[in-house]
Structure 1
Amino acid sequence: MGSDVEDERQLVERAQAGDQDAFQELVVRYQRKVYSICYGMLKNQQDSMDVSQDVFIKVFRYLEKFNHNSSFYTWLYRITVNKCIDFIRKRNRRSEVDYNDAVGREDDIDGDEQIMSSTLGLRPDRVYARKELRDNMLEALDTLSEKHRTILILREVEGLAYEEIADVLGISKGTVMSRLYHARRYFQEAIKEYLGETLVVK
């Protein structure tokens, strides 16, 4: 783990010094994770691709100001979440939110399966086999507030520790734990009508 952190730091420092290959390697390393967060929050393939691109443009512009007080990926995730929140707010102001958008769902089920299996206690193979359940799960995610949907994605899909989530969102660890508890409960309540199983809040 230590060598990975050191390798990442060296990559970042090279990129900060103007090494384009190093920056490209950072993009390759994190582009899927950034897209996963964007898709989890935006639920639209094209919007997620556009915002992901905006994220890396901002990273490129401000990388020289990154001071290593936090890990690079924490800094990157913070930018990603903020970009998504900004996009959602602008989209809502334009009244262009489409809650029935199904574009890209067949190609982006990994994160959905992780939320289903971890939050609902279902095995991933059962989740994948139940397409209708997955579709209903996506609708249930849309009913969550912005803050609850975001914290579920960071914890259940990206696997961030409570401390890392606190750093990304700028909140306390206690708030993370409380918000995650309520996010899981709200999600379970939203989806349980589609399930014949008893759900237990973690």
Structure 2
Amino acid sequence: MVEPSLIKAAQSGDREALVTLLREIENHVYRTAYYILNNEQDALDASQEALIRIYTKIDTYEEKAQFKTWVQRIVTNICIDKFRRNKPTISIEEHELVFQEKSNVEHDVLAAFAMDDIKQAIEQLPEHHRTVVILRYLQDFSYNEIAASLDLPLNTVKSYLFRARQQLQQLLQDYQKGGVRG
């Protein structure tokens, strides 16, 4: 969490505070961009664009919204614009989907298949459903934070998540029945 005093100093023209602020958020910005764009170079480009936009627009930030929500909205909008231009797919890194129990080789193999199945299922979701799933379950945003970040009504976010879960359930039905990957 970024200190409010750092934000205030950056807004008042303290260049050192602004640089410190940008350094504190750059990993979060990149991670979000990478999840949405699924391409390292595109994510780096989007991150740079987002950080520049934050740098130039810091004085427009108002405390009505949380700072991380404001930053997330900027990053997400830039990524969605790039995504629409490039139409890539989202890849969920396997290290983000953690299984608590690792008892034997068979379990490890099944867990690897499950992670791959979940990753593939998320990649098949429509863009707007995929984005809210990533923000909710990988970025741990609340429904309100997602709504603010994407500039959507709260009920739309809830609807997107509900439909995304239904679609994921459908896509993963063979796995849920104990079926074997084919």
Partner of 1:31: 26
Identity of aligned residues (%): 30
Q: 1:66-109: CA deviations, max 9, x gaps?
A: 222211111100011101100011113xxxx4x5x98xx7xx44
Equivalent of residue 50 in structure 2, options 55, 78, 84? 55
Q: Answer whether contact 1:33 1:158 (CA < 8 A) is retained.
A: no
1:142 corresponds in structure 2 to: 123
| C-alpha deviation, 1:139, in angstroms | 2.5
Distance 1:32 1:177 in 2: 27
Report how many aligned residue pairs link the two structures: 174
Q: Which letter maps to 2:68? A: Y
Check conservation: 2:94, 2:116, Cα contact below 8 A.
no
| CA gap 1:137/1:47 in 2 versus in 1, 3 angstroms | farther
Structure-2 residue corresponding to 1:65:
60
The match for 1:79 among 71, 74, 87 is 74
Tell me the SS of whatever aligns to 2:172: helix
Decide whether the 8 Å contact of 1:77 with 1:168 is kept in 2. yes
Query: Any runs of at least 4 consecutive aligned residues in structure 1 with deviations exceeding 6 A, and if so which?
Result: none
> Is the CA contact (8 Å cut-off) linking 2:35 and 2:134 kept in structure 1?
yes
Q: Distance in 2 between matches of 1:166 and 1:76?
A: 13
Cα drift, residue 9 of structure 1: 2.0
Structure 2: runs of 5+ lacking an equivalent: none
SS in 2 for 1:18: coil
Alpha-carbon separation, structure 2, partners of 1:14 and 1:71? 16
Which of the two has higher C-alpha Rg?
2
List alignment gaps of at least 5 residues for structure 1: 118-122
C-alpha displacement of 1:193: 3.5
CA distance in 1, matches of 2:177, 2:23: 41
TM-score by length of 1: 0.73
AA aligned opposite 2:168: F
Superposition deviation, residue 51 in structure 1: 1.0
Q: CA deviation at 1:57?
A: 0.9
In the alignment, which of 4, 8, 12 is matched to residue 13 of structure 1?
A: 8
Q: Provide the rounded CA distance (Å) in 1 between the counterparts of 2:47 and 2:94.
A: 18
Q: Shift in Å at residue 175 of structure 1?
A: 1.9
Q: Does 1:186 align with 2:173?
A: no
Instruction: Indicate if the aligned counterparts of 1:128 and 1:134 stay in contact, CA closer than 8 A.
Output: no
In structure 2, the residue matched to 1:42 is 37
